[in-house]
Structure 1
Amino acid sequence: MTSYWRQDAPSNLVELAVGKCLIAEMDQDRWTTLAELTGTKDQTHKHPRLLRALRFGDDDYDGHVYEMVPIILGAEVTWGEPYSSQDVQTRFPRLAMVADFIDLPAWLALNEPDLYERLLSDDGNQATLPDGTVLSQAEAIAVRLGVAEMRRQVERIRRDYASDPEAAIGQAKELIESTCKTILDITGDSDEKHDVPALVKQTLLHLGLDPSQVTSGPDERAAKRLLGGVASILTGAAELRNARGTGHGRSGAELVNPSVARMAVGVVLPAVIFLIESWEALVAMPSEPPLADSVPVIAARIGGTLRHETYGEGQVLNSEATRHGTVVSVDFGPRIGKRRVLIHGK
């Protein structure tokens, strides 16, 4: 079985994973071999502390390992500088070589299963996962609105996208329903008896985005087509879920074509983001929360990952309940380090 790097794998978590494995597995001979393999003999052997700290078991060894990680991986940016928006194998040209040398997938599966799940996939179809920007934006929206169910639905889409397309379509449909009900509930304009097509219609009318509400003008025809497309995407995904997705127990029904599942989920996410952003603009809500109120998107499970508005994704080390929320210690990787984050509410 081959493991594939997820398209949305965060670079800081890749560095964290590689660093953890190097710290656990490397001795001086293996460092020498890895240096020759990656062409980093000078940086490795001339490092003032790396091998010496290893030899004497000094406390600063871990930090020096993390300093070497981007060098070994062939990163073009210098330590402390942010990465541009690229997939991890472009950012780290020697990632595959290093991961193979240290048996990184196997080590993560045995020692850091949550990191493995976040960074790697057993299915090559994962390479076509909706890019991390769209997923992250959908997660951030759920945080701004404080709707835990929306957060769970986005994370389940991330989990099931390649391995269980029927479940991913089901979660996409539930996300549409949660989005519409959230917008209408907040305004007191909800009807729980509506099915999804009716909810979508009511939401578009409420936001002034129904094609029938487009006023005359030079762009009227194009605007009507685009808005009609949004409605078709959202209702079509719900109909696909009813026919092939989870939730209705259609035993014996032909499994949905994986490419259709990827297409459906891939277009639903931007459409949902469009609805929420339109609603926020309508009610003049701030698009970003104040930094002090930044909270993670993914549940704070020890060993799992969470997303912070400023620091990105990190691995949860521990948590402690307080009167004012849960304080979570998170390792955001060597470039950011460990931070404590206060999560308000559940």
Structure 2
Amino acid sequence: MERGQKILTFARAVQATFSSSEWTEIGYLTGTDEWIDRHPRLLRSLNWGDDDYRGNALDAVAHILRNTENLRILFEYAPINRWLKKNEPGAFTELESEVSGIEVPDVVPGTVTDSGLAALADAQELLRTRGPTSAVDRLHTGLHDFLKAACDQAGIQYPATPSPNQLLKALLEQHPALSNLGPRSEDIKRILRTSGSIIDSFGTLRNQASLAHPNQDLLDHDEALLVINISRSLLRFFDAKFR
């Protein structure tokens, strides 16, 4: 996320959640308490409900973020964190990934059809704008397409309407690029075989807990992000082997 977008995002959160007490607390946490206290309009415009409060909040957030270490402090500050997670899940995910570094990067595989590429692009855009829960369905479609295209490219046969797990098993058994996976090949293959049950569970979650269907009970943010990161890790591994 670009600096300007971060400022706008955090400013919306503080406008929705901050009283003078939160400004005082975040000032102490970020080492900007004197700047906040001396600002001629920030707290005054907040207390009086003046029209220029939005601009003053933008100025304050921009000042706080001059120190890059304050990004984590702002993001993890409870009122901001709760508001972002509820109201701007896409921004929450993007900031969480930057702060924690835990998200597996997006991958554009070389072995995939146009529809598969479109599904993966949709998943990335939904992840960015609406959060991981909205991206699960399209990522599942992209992963399914990738596995099928990899079988086609290698001339591997599969059933008429194969599940992702059936495709994975066929690749593990027949694709030449997976015959030798280094000095601990059998251990790696055991991990990959186990990933078949993960892919099966992914399909169940996609059908029963994502926006693919009108499901009432959807995956929460953290669980959806787990599914996305595991799927991307599998995509990245197989894509590297098949190139």
TM-score (normalizing by structure 1): 0.41
1:136-171 Cα distance to aligned partner (Å, 9 max, x none): 61xx31498781211224555785866x9xx94x55
Q: Distance in 1 between matches of 2:22 and 2:57?
A: 13
Residues 237 and 268 in structure 1, CA contact (< 8 A), matched pair in contact too: no
Q: CA RMSD in A?
A: 5.7
Residue 226 in 1 paired to residue 218 in 2?
A: no
Among 69, 90, 94, which residue is 2:61 paired with?
A: 69
1:120-148 CA-to-partner distances (Å, cap 9, x unmatched) read 69xxxxx9xxx8743x61xx314987812
- Of 199, 211, 220, which residue of structure 1 is paired with 2:167? 199
Query: Structure 2: which amino acid aligns with 1:95?
Result: Y
Matched residue of 1:208: which SS? helix
SS in 1 for 2:160: coil
CA pair 201-143 structure 1, distance change in 2 beyond 3 A: closer
Q: Is contact 2:23-2:36 (8 Å) kept?
A: yes
- 2:49: which partner in 1? none
Pair 247,17 (structure 1): closer, same or farther in 2 beyond 3 Å: closer
Secondary structure at 2:88 match in 1: helix
Change in 2 beyond 3 A, CA 1:258/1:233:
same
Equivalences, count: 215
Distance 1:236 1:242, change over 3 A: same
Q: Which residue of 2 aligns with 1:92?
A: 74
Question: Residue 43 of structure 1 corresponds to which residue in structure 2?
Answer: 35
Kindly indicate whether residue 176 of structure 2 is the aligned counterpart of residue 179 of structure 1. no
State the Cα distance separating 1:180 from its structure 2 match.
1.4
Deviation at 1:235, TM superposition (A): 3.8
Higher share in strand: 1
Change in Cα spacing, 1:10 to 1:274, as seen in structure 2 (3 Å) is farther
Following superposition, the deviation at residue 195 of structure 1 comes to 0.6
Amino acid in structure 1 at the alignment position of 2:90: R
Shift of 1:81: 3.6
Counterparts in 2 of 1:208-223, with a 5 A limit? Answer: 208-209=177-178, 213-214=179-180, 219-223=184-188
Displacement after TM superposition at 1:177 (Å): 0.5
What are the Cα deviations for residues 206-263 of structure 1, in whole angstroms up to 9, with x where unaligned?
3633xxx348x8634423322222233224433x3598467998x9xxx98969x938
Name the CA shift for 1:82/1:206 in 2 (closer, same or farther; >3 Å): farther
Identity of aligned residues (%): 15
Which of 8, 18, 27 aligns to 1:16? It is 8
- Residue 92 of structure 1 aligns to a residue in which SS? helix
Secondary structure (helix, strand or coil) at the match of 1:150 reads helix
Q: Measure, in 2, the Cα distance between the counterparts of 1:233 and 1:25.
A: 39
Where do 5+ consecutive residues of structure 1 fail to align? 1-8, 55-60, 73-77, 122-126, 284-346
